[in-house]
Every structure is written in C-alpha cells, then in structure tokens.
Amino acid sequence: MFGGGLHISRCGWTTQLGPGRHPVSSAYFWYFKNPAGALIEYYADEDVLTPEWQPRDFEPGPTVFAEWAIDGGLDGNTRRQKNAEAPQGKFMTERKQ
C-alpha cells in the first residue's frame, strides 16, 4: 500500500490525506486528487468478515474516521512528510567531542 501510494505521488497526484488507517475496517488508506480533479481513495488490507461478525454502532467523528493519518502525504522521492519542518536539535546519543 505504501509503495503504491509513493508511486502515485511520484506520478504527480496531489495527496488530500494519507497515508493513514481506518479503525472501523482496519484498512490502510491514502486519498489523492486525480488528474481529472476527483478525489480517490487508494486502500488495502480491509478486515475479512466471517459468519461471527456482528454489526456495531459508531458515533461519527475524526477518531472513527482515522486512527492515524499524515496530513499532506509523503513525498514520493524522499519518503518524508510533505510540508513538515525538519526536527531541530541534536540526537540524544550525540556526545561532545
């Protein structure tokens, strides 16, 4: 899923949101604006429903939509979050010379 999403990003599609994970279906997702301007969801790894599955009620809200998600997406070349500042400071393990 991540490899495919990075490829779509390298092809110039703009990320709307993602990658991320939907808690209700356990699916990983990545929302892109396609060249025609429409929003598409690239996703994988949804839960498999078995005969033991029982329906549940969920209150709509951001924590039901996404357990985690990267705003602005990942750069297809650097694989780093777009529009995010680099961390400042030194590593905790760095020693004086």
Residue 92 lies in a domain: no
At 33, which CATH number?
A: 3.10.180.10
- Write the DSSP string, the chain: -HHHHHHHHHTTPEEEEEEEE-TTT--EEEEEE-TTS-EEEEEE-PPPP-TT--------SHHHH-SEE-TT-B-TTT-SBTT-PPPPS--TT----
Residue 81 lies in a domain: no
pLDDT digits (tens, 9 = 90+) for 39-77: 999 999 888 888 998 888 888 888 888 888 988 888 888
Count the domains in the chain: 1
pLDDT digits (tens, 9 = 90+) for 76-87: 888 888 877 766
* pTM of the full structure: 0.75
Residue 28 lies in a domain: yes
Residue 46 lies in a domain: yes
Residue 96 lies in a domain: no
Residue range(s) defining the domain that contains residue 63: 2-69
